[in-house]
Structure 1
Amino acid sequence: MEKAAAATPDAVCLVDRGLRLTYRQLLSRADGAAARMRELGLRPDDRVVLQLPNHWEFVVTTVACLRLGVVPVMALQGHRKQEIAAVTEHAGARAVITAGIVKGFDHQALAHEVAAESETCEHVLVTADELQEGSLDLRAYLCPSSDEVFEPAEPSGTDVALFLLSGGTTGAPKLIPRTHNDFSYLVKRAAEICGIGRDTVYLAVLPLGHGFPMTWVLATLFAGGRVVVTDSPTAERNFPLIEAEGVTMTSLVPAIAQRWLEHRVADSAHDLGSLELVQVSGSRIPDEIAGRFGPVLGCALQNGYGMGEGLMCLTRPGDPAEVVCRTQGRPICPDDELRLVDADGRPVADGEPGILLTRGPYTVRGYYRAEERNATAFSDGWYNTGDIVRMLPDGNLVVEGREKDVINRGGEKISAEEIENFAYQAGASLAAAVAMPDPDLGERVCLYSTGKRLDPGRLHAAMEAAGVATFKFPERLVHTDSLPLTAVGKVDKKALRADIAARLATERLLGERQAS
């Protein structure tokens, strides 16, 4: 980013509500923060948990950490004590950087609770108008630097630049170590494919703690473009931003994309003519919705698929509509390797769906300090994604679903086992959490149980008391006398997924009949 700042120091590079920072100002604030964090005692390779909403402080703090060599652990706003405490302990974090009250939840109080129970966490830095005792004012740390020139750290390319978090089959997030080499390659290659340059204006809608939007934020800043951040995904908030800032590019998940399309049909007041590209990733967007982007929003769609562990697939500008609307793209790197195998690890026939294994120059070789999980997820550099995909003859992928026991709720991965454990604590004899189809989020959590009938309010309250992220709460409970079993005596979740889909279809049909 120093090159972009040297070339156009007075160009606006970061916009958040009324704040507009130039490249010179962003680097001054980042270097000021890096110098003050160093005075606080933070050193290269120290870890800090970063849990901030989509505001300018998130971007500047991330740049400051990279300049100092401190490693940010990218947490999400929806994470609660269970997740934040786990990653703080696992990373050995020396600080938690967080907000005050966001959507009624006190993140500052949570951070102090975690720090009090941690053996390593010494500091809590907060963006809040009212600071609790012991909190440090993050905004004061982010003030512009003095006249003294800050000398940034010079890490090795194999050093960890940041940790992303991965959901999965266990409740606690796993730490994904992204090195300077692999993440910078990903950013630069993605920018090259999408033609990101000085004229790019990227609207950051998705939570910046995810690797996908952070990739495009850094790509835009490296190229000398402008980033506009927003803490709301709604069309009502973002269409005026697109018009006012001349936004050219943004990234969405299918649920948000569908709402934008619906809003545009109902309200065409704002000029969206600057918008050239909307990327959709996180889960598969229905084909019929994908085909509406050009006619409704007047921009191109880029379908994508990837994971914090590495692999990124994108459709390309100029691809035929059939590819853009019906596939999730192909790998961004010619050295990415893909294998499709069955449940026994045997290669599947061409054109048949299989579990995707991948390895490549920017895919990690293992989770941080997770030997047991690594033994099953990684082998000889190959990462088992747990996703079931089909590969077309042209190399593009079609994502069919998940092999792992994971529910993908709008891009957030939820462990079924974690939900089931709470059901057992609530008195269920047998419990099974499965994904139920949803037109907005792709999947929601449905919990089947036998034995004691579970009360949804009490179950949610128990999960909230345990500090579980609210997006994991079951949204439908089905009480039944028994659960279907496979031939080896396991709960047949395939049958349960078919059952909830049939129930929803019946309810929808009854609703249509009543409406008519």
Structure 2
Amino acid sequence: MLDGCTPWPETLAARYRAEGYWTGELLGRRSGDTGLAARTAVVTPDRTLTYGRLDLAADRLAAGLGALGIAPRDRIVVQLPNGADLAVVCLALFRLGALPVFALPAHRAAEITHLVESAEAVAYICADRDLDCDHRELARQVLARTGSLKHVLVAGDPGPFTALADADADPVGLPLPDPEDVALFLLSGGTSGPPKLIPRTHADYTYQLRASAALCGVGPHSRYLCALPMGHNFALACPGVLGTLRAGGTAVLAPAPTPEECFPLIERAGVTVTSLVPPLVPLWLDAAEWTDSDLSSLALLQVGGSRLDPATAGRVADGLGCALQQVYGMAEGLLNFTRPGDPEEEVLHTQGRPLSPADEVRVVREDGTDAAPGEVGELYTRGPYTLRGYYRADALNRLRFTEEGHYRSGDLVRRTAAGNFEVVGRTNDVVNRGGEKVPCQEVEEHLLADPRIVSAAVLALPHPLMGEQTCACVVFRDAEAELTLRQVQAVLRERGAAAYKLPDRLVALPRMPLTGVGKIDKRALRDGLAD
């Protein structure tokens, strides 16, 4: 396995092979179905690709990237909006054996610099412009701060860089990677500082695709709408875009998760399944009452990323005319799903049960003993698709993994008598803002970099739509230095922080409450704000 990654013990690896979890399948390979070439693989608002055209485009891009000197195991930071280019890039990198590091659309210079440095990436693939960002200017900043980047490839107008379309060459034979080697890197939620890199292998990720597609009934006739950013594990592989393409279905890629963008695509492409985070569900339900789009093809709505409140869950069947599936998982591995045919009470109130028979899960009390059904504890897990360690993070791995190899998720859960999980919170300091994880410590460090702020504490407050909102409590140096919320948000933007990490609320205090050992007392802050 790639240096800096932790392999599974051979005893477990041998078991996963023998029991059929790891099969030797590679990501991005053709199915061998000669009748597939003419079928529709990818649909976007302005483009349609058959499997034949998708395969050819991926083969040509793989050859073009190889001609630039990009080699197997080279790390490539990929930050592209949902679209045909992103689908082609994914398949091309898998076939070349280069390793995509999936950045999110909201990431800016601070996050991309961190990813490039952490992965020692040799290339950055981005759009020319997306949302409010000129990624060519962002790339210029990252190049100035890092030393490993050799290539910037831009989808669209490349400016001073290389056009992604120019990385094109006649297809060539490529060596096959080891199925049990790393295939891609996902990002941790960044619960304590910048995100960590999660290595996923061909073997474990293809198993996740197969098992989740089978559970969700995704097959050749499925039409999966990717409304969330495709770089998220949820939209990429639960079963997501990759699972749908592997099954011979159609991936429908929306540029944004709004009803205005998605509803016409649902009608046009006959979408059968899609995935949302909880804050989007009431927006879709409200919009469904007045839309002219025909949503009758939609059969399944997956909801995950944070807890969906039961009242909203109960509106899905009537409001969207489809079944609801709650999904609770993590980019690190373990996935939990409610199943078709589960009692309504379980679908509305729980976040599902493990995907695989080989998932080994413990719910652990603070004293280290196993919690009984109905008791709250931290979820520990290991299995054939759960990582054994973050990339190049030995110190962190000693904290986050037990000696037996269980991943300490940091999630506080309650297991029902039927085996389903109810997620009740987090053990660490993070704001779960509509499924986006905002690391409090990182935001505090950005705030404290401004000389006008002498003390800062970031914490989560309840929010009816987002689940949680980010509140920044600060002590300014003096009255003349006091900033408004918009000014504080501008400070973070100037430091390159992603938009979802900007505080939603600002509270100015004369002093911070402290614990007995002199730390900021966040519990006292929350209690005071609640009062």
TM-score interval, normalised by the smaller of the two chains: over 0.9
Secondary structure (helix, strand or coil) at the match of 2:55 reads helix
Which one-letter code corresponds to 1:231 in the other structure? P
Decide which moves more: 489-498 or 59-68: 489-498
Secondary structure (helix, strand or coil) at the match of 1:53 reads coil
Which one-letter code corresponds to 1:126 in the other structure? V
Distance 2:454 2:125 in 1: 41
Which one-letter code corresponds to 1:179 in the other structure? T
Decide which moves more: 407-416 or 29-38: 407-416
Decide which moves more: 324-333 or 454-463: 454-463
Instruction: Give the aligned partner of residue 56 of structure 2.
Output: 28
- Is the Cα–Cα contact under 8 Å of residues 446 and 495 in structure 2 kept in the other structure? no
Q: Deviations over 1:447-492 (max 9, x none)?
A: 1233544432332222122111121011111123444445555433
Instruction: Give the aligned partner of residue 56 of structure 1.
Output: 84
Match of 1:436 among 461, 468, 479: 461
Q: Deviations over 1:319-375 (max 9, x none)?
A: 111111110000101111112223343333431111111111110011100111111
Which residues of structure 2 form unaligned runs of 5+? Answer: 1-28
Instruction: Give the aligned partner of residue 235 of structure 1.
Output: 259
Does the C-alpha gap of structure 1 residues 117 and 492 become closer, same or farther in structure 2, counting only changes over 3 Å?
closer
Instruction: Give the aligned partner of residue 484 of structure 2.
Output: 455
Distance 1:47 1:471 in 2: 26
Instruction: Give the aligned partner of residue 425 of structure 1.
Output: 449
Instruction: Give the aligned partner of residue 406 of structure 2.
Output: 382
Secondary structure (helix, strand or coil) at the match of 2:283 reads helix
- Is the Cα–Cα contact under 8 Å of residues 430 and 449 in structure 1 kept in the other structure? yes
- Is the Cα–Cα contact under 8 Å of residues 304 and 329 in structure 1 kept in the other structure? yes
Q: Deviations over 1:309-328 (max 9, x none)?
A: 00111101111111111100
Does the C-alpha gap of structure 1 residues 139 and 16 become closer, same or farther in structure 2, counting only changes over 3 Å?
farther
Does the C-alpha gap of structure 1 residues 118 and 374 become closer, same or farther in structure 2, counting only changes over 3 Å?
same
Instruction: Give the aligned partner of residue 512 of structure 1.
Output: none
Match of 2:346 among 319, 323, 337: 323
- Is the Cα–Cα contact under 8 Å of residues 5 and 23 in structure 1 kept in the other structure? no
Q: How far off is 1:269 after superposition?
A: 2.1
Report matched runs for 1:87-126 at 5 Å. Answer: 87-126=115-154
Q: How far off is 1:34 after superposition?
A: 0.2
Moved beyond 6 Å, runs of 4+? none
Instruction: Give the aligned partner of residue 390 of structure 2.
Output: 367
Decide which moves more: 339-348 or 84-93: 339-348
Match of 2:470 among 434, 445, 458: 445
In the alignment, structure 1 residue 392 sits paired with structure 2 residue 416: yes
Distance 1:125 1:308 in 2: 26
Instruction: Give the aligned partner of residue 493 of structure 1.
Output: 522
Q: How far off is 1:137 after superposition?
A: 1.0
Q: How far off is 1:119 after superposition?
A: 1.9
Q: How far off is 1:113 after superposition?
A: 2.4
Distance 1:320 1:460 in 2: 45
Distance 1:416 1:241 in 2: 37
Match of 1:307 among 330, 348, 355: 330
Secondary structure (helix, strand or coil) at the match of 1:178 reads strand
Does the C-alpha gap of structure 1 residues 288 and 316 become closer, same or farther in structure 2, counting only changes over 3 Å?
same
In the alignment, structure 1 residue 352 sits paired with structure 2 residue 379: no
- Is the Cα–Cα contact under 8 Å of residues 192 and 430 in structure 2 kept in the other structure? no
In the alignment, structure 1 residue 182 sits paired with structure 2 residue 208: no
Which one-letter code corresponds to 1:315 in the other structure? T
Instruction: Give the aligned partner of residue 31 of structure 2.
Output: 3
Distance 1:460 1:268 in 2: 35
Decide which moves more: 294-303 or 473-482: 473-482
Distance 1:17 1:451 in 2: 48
Match of 2:158 among 118, 128, 131: 131
Instruction: Give the aligned partner of residue 69 of structure 1.
Output: 97
Distance 1:16 1:451 in 2: 48
Secondary structure (helix, strand or coil) at the match of 2:126 reads strand
Decide which moves more: 114-123 or 28-37: 114-123
Distance 2:428 2:449 in 1: 23
Secondary structure (helix, strand or coil) at the match of 1:284 reads coil
- Count, aligned residues: 495
Q: Deviations over 1:371-403 (max 9, x none)?
A: 111111112211111111100011100000111
Does the C-alpha gap of structure 1 residues 113 and 489 become closer, same or farther in structure 2, counting only changes over 3 Å?
closer
Does the C-alpha gap of structure 1 residues 123 and 164 become closer, same or farther in structure 2, counting only changes over 3 Å?
same
- Is the Cα–Cα contact under 8 Å of residues 5 and 24 in structure 1 kept in the other structure? no
Does the C-alpha gap of structure 1 residues 212 and 160 become closer, same or farther in structure 2, counting only changes over 3 Å?
same
**Considering only aligned residues, what root-mean-square deviation do their CA atoms show, in Å?**
1.7
- Is the Cα–Cα contact under 8 Å of residues 276 and 302 in structure 2 kept in the other structure? yes
Report matched runs for 1:9-20 at 5 Å. Answer: 9-20=37-48
- Is the Cα–Cα contact under 8 Å of residues 428 and 454 in structure 1 kept in the other structure? no
Does the C-alpha gap of structure 1 residues 79 and 268 become closer, same or farther in structure 2, counting only changes over 3 Å?
closer
Instruction: Give the aligned partner of residue 45 of structure 1.
Output: 73
Which one-letter code corresponds to 2:166 in the other structure? A
Q: Deviations over 1:135-170 (max 9, x none)?
A: 1111333x6x64x5x334311122110000113333
Secondary structure (helix, strand or coil) at the match of 1:295 reads helix
Does the C-alpha gap of structure 1 residues 18 and 389 become closer, same or farther in structure 2, counting only changes over 3 Å?
same
**TM value normalised by structure 2:** 0.90
Secondary structure (helix, strand or coil) at the match of 2:219 reads coil
Distance 1:497 1:352 in 2: 25
Which residues of structure 1 form unaligned runs of 5+? Answer: 504-516
Distance 2:294 2:439 in 1: 41
Instruction: Give the aligned partner of residue 513 of structure 1.
Output: none
In the alignment, structure 1 residue 479 sits paired with structure 2 residue 508: yes
Secondary structure (helix, strand or coil) at the match of 2:431 reads strand
Does the C-alpha gap of structure 1 residues 302 and 428 become closer, same or farther in structure 2, counting only changes over 3 Å?
same
Distance 1:320 1:499 in 2: 40
Distance 2:427 2:396 in 1: 16
Q: Deviations over 1:199-245 (max 9, x none)?
A: 10000000011111110111110111001101111112211111111
Q: How far off is 1:131 after superposition?
A: 2.2
In the alignment, structure 1 residue 199 sits paired with structure 2 residue 228: no
- Is the Cα–Cα contact under 8 Å of residues 4 and 222 in structure 1 kept in the other structure? no
- Is the Cα–Cα contact under 8 Å of residues 45 and 265 in structure 2 kept in the other structure? no
